[in-house]
Structure formats: C-alpha cells, structure tokens
C-alpha cells in the first residue's frame, strides 16, 4: 500500500512560493502572492515568526528597489503580512522593518501632496502598510495624514464583504497608533464612539474590526478621561467584551490541533481575537474589578484557560495575566472573593503543580501567590468586615493546604533563580515570601 504524501506546512508553502517570485512577470507574481497570503493566514504565532524576519523584509525591499516587484504587488504582499502580524499581536524586533517602512513613508507624503490626481484608495493602502509595519510608532506628520485617511474608510457603513474587509484593515491599522496627543485624540475619539455605537445597533463590523475600534479607545482612556469616561460607561465595554469573547471562544476547538486549510485559518484568527480581548480587558482600567459583568467574564476566562492550555498556550498565558494583575491591583478581599467565585483560584493552585508548566505561566502564578501572601501579611480590610475577611482567608488557606501548595513551592525553589535569569523577572527567591500563617 502506497504511503500518503506528507502534508506541506504553511511555512514551507510560503517559502516555496516566495522563492519563485522574482522570476515571474507582474501578473504571475500576484497569483503567487495570493497563495503566499493563504499559507500565511494558516500560521500560528510561532510559525509566523519564522517568516516575519529582518532578512525576509530586507529581501522584499531589495526586490522593490531593483524593480523586480511593483509597488502594487509589494502592498499586496506586505499589507496582509502586517494584518496577520497585528492580529497575532507580534511586535517588531529592533529595526527589522526600517527599510520597507521608510519607503512607504515617502510614498505616503508624495501621494498626499498631489492635488487633482490623488488616489484615495492607494493612499489608504500605503497608510495601512505603514501603520501595520511600524507598530504605530509614527511622527506627527504621519499621524495627521494616516488618521484622516483611514478614518474615512473606517466610517463606511456598508455591510458587503469587501467593505467590511476594508474597514477591518483600516481599524486594525488605526488601533496600532501609539502617538498620543490630547487635543487630536479628543477630536477623533468621537468618531470611534460613533463606529462602536453604530455597530452595537446594526452589527455591521467584523469581530476583529469591532475589537480594534475598542482597542483604539481603551489605549487612550488615561489620556482623555474627561471625554472618554462617560462614553465608555454608556457603551458598556465590559459587557461587550464579554459577549464578543464568548462568541469568538465558541468558534475554536480548543482541545485539538493540526487542522489544515480554511479550518486552520479560521481557528488561528478566532484564537488570536480571544487573546486580544483578554489583553484589552487587562488594559481597561486600574484593575478595580468589582462589577458583576467582569465576574462573569472572569468565569469564562477560567473555563477557557483550562481548555486552551495544551494547544493554545498564548491564550492561556493571557488568562493568567488577568488573574495575576487582579491580585496585584486589588485589595485582598474583593480580588480573592472574585477569583474564588470564578474558580480561578482553584486553577492557579492546580497549574502551579503541573509537571510541564510553561515558564511564562509559571511566573504569572508565582507573582499571583507572592501578592496574595503579601496582602495577607498586611491584613488590610479596606472597610470589609473583619469576620468576612477571616472567613475568606481560612477558605483559601485550607485549599492551599489541601492541594499541597507549600510542597509545590519548595520543589520550585531551585528554579526561581533560573526564571529570573531566563525571563528577566524579579521573582523573589526567598521561599518564606511565598508562605504565610493564617
């Protein structure tokens, strides 16, 4: 019986197509780039990072500079690459994108200075490539040109698939902007509130587009509190995040991996959207989470974390960031009470004993317990009845004792220095810091 041929990985397909690019005419190049983009959309974060390198981007720049590839085809290749990079929340390493982004910056200025012959669609493509590649670290000149150009696209309300894709990419680029100007932001935040409110009434955006609009706003919440506070409350961010989170969570079979083609593309995108919602929740406020909606979200995050920790480690990691930051930012009673109700505390106790625990997740767990024991020692009630506080401490202490928490921490003692060196974290290496008597 003849053996079936091995399935070629998305990375191998991408590299194979890329190697053919410079020997083809422009029309053939576009077909090859389309196949490259399809392969790229199947890649998870680890796979994508193997192609999104300084060497790859410099090679693309060389092809363009040597006129072996047109500006249109460069956009056709780099915009989906930037889109996928932003979706997976991958940041640039050093100056790996300096050369292509510099070329796009010059092209944006030249196109924007045109009068009668200005091509708004071409300018939008250039701006999207630039923002998605630069991670939003832009000049005031680029801020003004790109924001105005892409807001025109983002404010479109048609629901056809092509327009939805245009709006999604424009919002994804805009939410990457890390240039903050109070007057400028206050002016344009109103446009984003309109986009969010219209979607809540008509559901005209993709999940990624809607999420990107919220991300733009949440990133500016500390800078423009006078404008944003009321609007965020009226639009009910936590409720919307929880609903979107649940919808995206149901689209992924968290217990399985190794899917191919369209199914793999959709699962990669939906897993990344879930991870981004968790990230936005963490950025939402100072962390004083005592809201019923957030407690429900926390329960969903706990369920998801259990399901995702084998095959979607980045999503699980973001969940543990939520738990760790809650304990750091909140006083003991509300944080412990909500984590107890959501079963997150049980998950943290269980996770710290796992033999194959991810190093990054281990650090979040250790930070969590360090902050828990620190707050226990402080004995701060913050207006909470002392009997209630004592009762909660007893519940948590008994659970830790039952699960063998102290033995687990002792077994990790020799690894604490290693975690500090490898991950550059300031985790206490004093074993006594992890223990407290009731």
CA 40 centroid distance within chain: 18
The vertex-347 CA angle with 86 and 428, nearest 5°, equals 80
Looking at residue 139, the DSSP 8-state letter turns out to be -
Instruction: Note down pLDDT in tens along the chain; length 438 residues.
Output: 444 446 789 999 999 999 999 889 989 999 999 999 999 999 988 899 999 888 888 888 888 888 899 989 999 999 999 999 989 888 765 444 556 777 888 889 999 998 878 899 999 999 999 898 877 677 888 888 999 999 999 999 998 999 999 999 999 999 988 877 777 787 788 899 899 999 999 999 999 999 999 999 888 876 665 555 566 677 888 888 888 878 877 888 887 765 677 788 888 888 888 888 888 887 775 445 556 777 778 888 888 888 888 888 888 888 998 888 888 877 777 778 888 888 999 999 988 887 667 888 888 898 899 888 888 877 655 556 777 777 888 888 888 888 888 888 888 888 888 877 766 667 888 888 888 776
3-state SS, residue 259: coil
172-214: pLDDT as tens digits: 999 988 877 777 787 788 899 899 999 999 999 999 999 999 9
Residue by residue, DSSP assigns 315-361 as: HHHHHHHHHHHHHHHS-HHHHHHHHHHTTHHHHHHHHTT-TT--HHH
Q: What is the tens place of the pLDDT at every residue in 108-130?
A: 999 999 887 889 999 999 999 98
Whether residue 267 contacts residue 208, with contact meaning beta carbons closer than 8 Å, is answered with no
In the chain, what are the domain boundaries? 311-438
Closest CA to 312 of 265, 354, 270, 359: 270
């Amino acid at each position: 019986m003849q053996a079936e041929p091995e399935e070629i990985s998305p990375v191998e397909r991408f590299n194979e197509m890329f190697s053919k690019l410079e020997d083809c005419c422009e029309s053939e190049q576009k077909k090859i780039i389309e196949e490259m983009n399809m392969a790229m959309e199947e890649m998870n974060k680890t796979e994508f990072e193997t192609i999104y390198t300084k060497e790859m981007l410099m090679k693309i720049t060389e092809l363009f500079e040597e006129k072996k590839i047109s500006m249109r085809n460069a956009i056709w290749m780099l915009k989906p690459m930037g889109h996928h990079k932003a979706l997976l929340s991958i940041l640039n390493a050093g100056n790996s994108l300096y050369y292509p982004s510099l070329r796009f910056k010059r092209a944006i200025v030249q196109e924007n200075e045109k009068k009668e012959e200005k091509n708004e669609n071409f300018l939008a493509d250039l701006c999207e490539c630039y923002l998605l590649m630069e991670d939003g670290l832009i000049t005031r000149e680029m801020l003004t040109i790109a924001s105005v150009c892409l807001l025109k696209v983002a404010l479109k309300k048609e629901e056809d698939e092509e327009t939805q894709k245009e709006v999604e990419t424009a919002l994804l680029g805009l939410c990457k902007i890390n240039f903050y100007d109070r007057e400028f932001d206050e002016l344009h935040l109103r446009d984003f509130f309109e986009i969010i409110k219209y979607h809540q009434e008509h559901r005209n955006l993709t999940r990624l587009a809607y999420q990107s609009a919220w991300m733009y706003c949440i990133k500016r919440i500390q800078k423009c509190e006078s404008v944003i506070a009321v609007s965020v409350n009226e639009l009910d961010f936590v409720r919307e995040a929880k609903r979107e989170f649940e919808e995206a969570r149901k689209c992924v079979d968290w217990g399985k991996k190794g899917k191919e083609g369209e199914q793999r593309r959709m699962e990669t995108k939906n897993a990344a959207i879930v991870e981004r919602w968790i990230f936005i929740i963490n950025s939402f406020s100072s962390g004083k989470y005592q809201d019923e909606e957030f407690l429900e979200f926390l329960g969903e995050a706990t369920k998801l974390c259990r399901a995702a920790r084998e095959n979607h480690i980045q999503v699980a990691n973001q969940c543990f960031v939520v738990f760790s930051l809650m304990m750091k930012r909140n006083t003991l009673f509300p944080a412990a009470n909500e984590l107890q109700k959501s079963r997150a505390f049980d998950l943290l106790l269980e996770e710290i004993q796992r033999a194959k625990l991810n190093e990054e997740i281990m650090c979040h767990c250790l930070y969590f317990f360090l902050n828990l024991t620190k707050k226990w020692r402080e004995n701060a009630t913050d207006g909470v009845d002392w009997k209630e506080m004592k009762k909660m401490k007893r519940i948590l202490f008994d659970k830790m004792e039952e699960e063998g928490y102290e033995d687990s921490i002792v077994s990790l003692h020799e690894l604490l220095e290693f975690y500090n060196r490898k991950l550059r974290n300031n985790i206490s290496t004093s074993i006594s810091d992890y223990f407290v008597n009731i």
